[in-house]
Structure 1
Amino acid sequence: MRKWWPLVAICLGTFMLLVDVTIVNVALPDMSRSLHASMASLQWIVDAYALTLAALLLTAGAAADLLGRRRVYLAGLAVFALASLMCALAADGGVLIAGRALQGTGGAVMFATTTALLTSVYEGRDRGIAFSVWGAVSSSAAAVGPTLGGVLTESWGWPSIFLVNLPVAVVTMVLARRVLPEFKATAGRRLDAVGALSFTVAAGATVAGLIESAHSGWGSPTVVTLLVVGAMALAVFVVTESTVAQPMLNLRLFRRPAFTALMLAAVLLQGAAFAHLGYTSMWLQTSLEMGPLAAGLVLTPLSLSALLVAAFAGRVLHGLPARIPVSAGLVLIGVGVLTETFIGPGSNWTVLLAGMVLSGIGAGVVTAPLVSAALSSVPPADAGTASGAVNTFRQLGQAIGVAVLGTVFVSEAAHTLAGKNVPGVPQETASALGGGQGRQIIESVAPARRAALTEALDAAFAHGLQQVFLIAGSAAVAVGVAAWFLMGRLGRDTHVPAQTAATAPPAPAGTRS
């Protein structure tokens, strides 16, 4: 049993950081009421975590190779624990957003070291077992998140979803210090500081511009400035990565159509299947007046079906060309999300069930072969970069998806409210509605008007979600079809391994396995 204690230490940290990707979705209405948070603030509460996680993953992996994998993992745990405490004690939306960003920083540091630590500790058959367990834990975190968030929020309020991290982090730190060996890369590695900074600024400014556009319009000076800054930072990133000796992300890999298709698949996997869950949870708790636990249970079939399918995907898909599960999985996600467009003002939660299950099946199908296909699409020397890029683009898809779909929601909801007898400007009312403030809007008018206003707001929310599902689902189907053609030769020559979940991603270049 002693040899598996390192696996326990790694899986505890992995489970904790991945649960926090989805656990906040059902707590958003409670946060909105408690902190008087706007829709933009709620978007940032979700996005600050995903964005910092995406922006820092590749850099954190290089830092771990230089400074020591155990040392960096422990540092990530400490930052994550402190950030969780900061989130739980937050008295306003700004502090909570800052805490979520700090959480994402700690999460990135932890996540970037997990596979490298497993590769350093285990060899041969034990490594396969370790990665199978780690993969199962990673998948189950997403499945547990909504229900766990609902139980904690309904029982003890939204701060409890962050406080629960503290004992887990402390136990993990004590265990990791005792059982994990230290390992550093060979000399000569350098951090790509300019690449890391420019990528972070590009992603952050672009997402901020997208979020602000929902409330201020595309012509707003703030939106234009943010998008210009994002474009300039992206240009700096491209130039830097094309010229430095040890780039954070080897851009030459994108000359390969198969690799480009797989990165798009990673973005849409997260953006189409999961980015809408915050808005869906808000609809369940405001329009249908569900509690956090009930809303969490409604969202669970998506993650649970993804977990169950991913667990058996290796056996079922064994021997198939990789482009079949990647393309089919994205199309299934898209069709599932499109099924949810049947939502209407008089709908109940069951209108989402079939789409949730179908999207979850698609996510489970595409998740298993995504990393192995990415590794097969690049030369062996770039395998570490390809593995890190998949995780980076998945989290980037979550951040961009939340921002884009928020803009779509506000636009459609405002269009539905236009001409109706509702208080305020339709754009502002739609934004407040998406921020969980529907009850406050209704209570702001005379009692005689409340029934008609409730009907108008319910219609606006349903129509906004319809458009969200339409855009997300259509994008997933389009990328799924495109991936079939772009993967080309890779799709014919690369097959899904029998035990995909047990296939260990290689250590980053410059490390030993």
Structure 2
Amino acid sequence: MRPWWPLVAICLGTFLFLLDTTVLNVALPAIGTDLHAPLSGLQWVVNVYTLALAVLMLPFGSLADRFGARNVYVAGLTVFALASLGCARAPDTGLLIASRAVQGVGGAAMSVSAFALIGALYRGAGRGKAMGVFGAVTGLGAAVGPMLGGVLTEYLSWRAAFLLNLPLVAGAIALTLGVLGNDRRPRAHRFDLSGTAAFAVCTGALVHGLTRAGEDGWTSTVYASVALAAVALVVFVVLERRRAHPMLDVRLFGRASFAAVMVCVLASSAAFAALLFTSVWLQSDLGLGPVRAGLALMPLALASFATSLLAGRTLHGASPRLVVGTGLLLSGTGCALQSGLDATSTASSVALGLAVTGIGIGLMGPAMAGAVFAAVPADRGGMAAGAMTTFRQLGPTLGIAVFGVLFRTGSGAAPAEGLKRVYVAAAAVGLIGAALAYIFVPEPAAVRAARSPRRGAGRTDHDREQRS
């Protein structure tokens, strides 16, 4: 059992990091009432956390290489705990959003270093088992979040969701320091501060502009934010192309396979982004309390968790193209099933769609990494993993901002009508992602080799990958 204690330490922090991405979904109406915050302010309570994660995943990978994954992991836990205390004591929306941003900084450090620690500590079959457990904990964190947030909000306070982190983080830090050795290694090239800043300005300005568009319409401020995002993106691309050791080699996006896989990663987050607005509808239109709203959202989380466990065990070695494409197809279909909402809809009206979407999310989750690694040369695997985690966190952030515009479009529109538009858009994103996956996601070498005796199928896949 002793070799698995490091995995316990890693999974405990990962559970907390993922729990806090979903625990507030049903607590937001209570936060809005308590702090007198509009919906745009509530969006930022969620968005600023995932935005910090998206911006910092790549640079924290570099920091983990330079200072050691264990040290970055412990530092991330410490920052996460302090920020959680700040969230719990926030007297207004501004300080809550600021504390959530700092919490995202800690979460990014925890997430990236957790992957690095598992890769360094486990080999062969042990690594496969470790990744299986890690994937199950990932699903569990997302599944428990809405229900736990509902219980804490209804029977204690939304602030209790943050206070709960403190003793758990203390235990994770103590366990990490006790069972993990220092893995610091010297690193030759410098930290890419300018690239990180440009990427942060790009994503922050884009999300800010889209959020303001939903609140105030397409004003000059919104256009200025979008223009700033475009300029910052150009600066980021220029900077990364000039570096001998780029944080992200943007030339990879010239490969159709890699670009398509990154779009699929973004598309896989659309259904999660829609959950925020589903929670608002359940509580504002249907008058459900936080616990009942959390229960109404559980079909997606439970179906995703169960499917992820099953897929991780039974689909090892299956074609990422087929698995990711089918997962996105199911996710989009589930969202389409929820797009028929009207004034007579009830909480049970979304149950089937949420379950189908959850099956799709759980199916594609374990296969997404295989799709990413198959789309790049072998020596770019680490960079590809960093890009995947970045886009995975950027997806919900952009999704919430874009869906916020759709949710509020139309003066005086009922939440049910707004949610219907959100799910139509989420369904379209899922189905487009599925089409891209079926066409462009390449097959790994092992899959091509297994299929090669069958009418030269392996050669066809190889040629398609080379062309992409």
Counterpart Cα distance in 2 of 1:389 and 1:299 = 29
Q: Are 1:482 and 2:445 an aligned pair?
A: no
| Deviation by residue 1:402-426 (Cα, 9 ceiling, x = unmatched) | 00000011114x2xx3xxxxxxxxx
Letter in 1 for 2:90: A
In the alignment, which residue of structure 1 is the partner of 2:252? 253
SS at match of 2:26: helix
Counterpart Cα distance in 1 of 2:429 and 2:14 = 29
Q: Percent of aligned positions with the same letter in both sequences?
A: 44
- Write out aligned runs for 1:449-464 (5 A): 460-464=414-418
The alignment's TM-score, normalised by the length of structure 2, stands at 0.93
With over 3 angstroms needed to count, the CA separation of the structure-2 counterparts of 1:144 and 1:496, relative to structure 1, is: farther
Contact 2:135–2:308 (Cα < 8 Å) also in 1: no
Counterpart Cα distance in 2 of 1:186 and 1:196 = 21
Q: Are 1:173 and 2:176 an aligned pair?
A: no
| Deviation by residue 1:380-402 (Cα, 9 ceiling, x = unmatched) | 11001111211110110000000
Contact 2:14–2:114 (Cα < 8 Å) also in 1: yes
- Write out aligned runs for 1:298-317 (5 A): 298-317=296-315
User: Where does structure 2 lack aligned partners over 5 or more consecutive residues?
Assistant: 451-468
- Write out aligned runs for 1:375-454 (5 A): 375-412=373-410, 414=411, 417=412
Contact 2:9–2:176 (Cα < 8 Å) also in 1: yes
Q: Are 1:244 and 2:243 an aligned pair?
A: yes
Structure 1 window deviating more from structure 2 (203-212 vs 310-319): it is 310-319
Q: How far is the alpha carbon of 1:215 from its aligned partner?
A: 1.5
Letter in 2 for 1:471: A
Letter in 2 for 1:480: A
Letter in 1 for 2:176: A
Counterpart Cα distance in 2 of 1:294 and 1:491 = 43
SS at match of 1:25: coil
Letter in 1 for 2:383: T
| Deviation by residue 1:226-278 (Cα, 9 ceiling, x = unmatched) | 111111111110101111011111112112211111111111111x2100111
With over 3 angstroms needed to count, the CA separation of the structure-2 counterparts of 1:314 and 1:287, relative to structure 1, is: same
Letter in 2 for 1:349: A
The one of the two structures with greater contact order (alpha-carbon pairs below 8 A, sep at least 6) is 1
Q: How far is the alpha carbon of 1:344 from its aligned partner?
A: 0.8
In the alignment, which residue of structure 2 is the partner of 1:448? none
In the alignment, which residue of structure 1 is the partner of 2:369? 371
Counterpart Cα distance in 2 of 1:313 and 1:157 = 37
With over 3 angstroms needed to count, the CA separation of the structure-2 counterparts of 1:73 and 1:496, relative to structure 1, is: farther
Letter in 2 for 1:267: L
Contact 2:118–2:130 (Cα < 8 Å) also in 1: yes
Structure 1 window deviating more from structure 2 (176-185 vs 312-321): it is 312-321
Q: Are 1:194 and 2:194 an aligned pair?
A: yes
Counterpart Cα distance in 2 of 1:173 and 1:91 = 28
With over 3 angstroms needed to count, the CA separation of the structure-2 counterparts of 1:118 and 1:314, relative to structure 1, is: closer
- Give structure 1 regions of 4+ aligned residues with deviation exceeding 3 angstroms: 314-320, 491-498
In the alignment, which residue of structure 2 is the partner of 1:154? 154
Q: How far is the alpha carbon of 1:94 from its aligned partner?
A: 0.6
In the alignment, which residue of structure 2 is the partner of 1:469? 423
In the alignment, which residue of structure 2 is the partner of 1:445? none
Contact 1:201–1:230 (Cα < 8 Å) also in 2: yes
Q: How far is the alpha carbon of 1:66 from its aligned partner?
A: 0.5
Counterpart Cα distance in 2 of 1:314 and 1:334 = 21
Aligned length: 450
Q: How far is the alpha carbon of 1:146 from its aligned partner?
A: 0.6
Counterpart Cα distance in 2 of 1:242 and 1:55 = 18
Letter in 2 for 1:202: C
Counterpart Cα distance in 1 of 2:47 and 2:182 = 33
With over 3 angstroms needed to count, the CA separation of the structure-2 counterparts of 1:132 and 1:243, relative to structure 1, is: same
Letter in 2 for 1:92: D
Contact 2:374–2:444 (Cα < 8 Å) also in 1: no
In the alignment, which residue of structure 2 is the partner of 1:17? 17
SS at match of 1:248: coil
Counterpart Cα distance in 1 of 2:115 and 2:449 = 19
Contact 2:264–2:436 (Cα < 8 Å) also in 1: no
In the alignment, which residue of structure 2 is the partner of 1:275? 273
Structure 1 window deviating more from structure 2 (35-44 vs 311-320): it is 311-320
In the alignment, which residue of structure 1 is the partner of 2:78? 78
In the alignment, which residue of structure 1 is the partner of 2:355? 357
With over 3 angstroms needed to count, the CA separation of the structure-2 counterparts of 1:494 and 1:286, relative to structure 1, is: farther
| Deviation by residue 1:158-198 (Cα, 9 ceiling, x = unmatched) | 00111100001111111111111111234313211111111
Structure 1 window deviating more from structure 2 (162-171 vs 181-190): it is 181-190
Contact 1:146–1:300 (Cα < 8 Å) also in 2: yes
Q: How far is the alpha carbon of 1:122 from its aligned partner?
A: 2.4
| Deviation by residue 1:293-320 (Cα, 9 ceiling, x = unmatched) | 1111111110111111111114443454
Q: Are 1:38 and 2:38 an aligned pair?
A: yes
SS at match of 2:338: helix
Counterpart Cα distance in 2 of 1:352 and 1:495 = 37
Q: Are 1:120 and 2:74 an aligned pair?
A: no
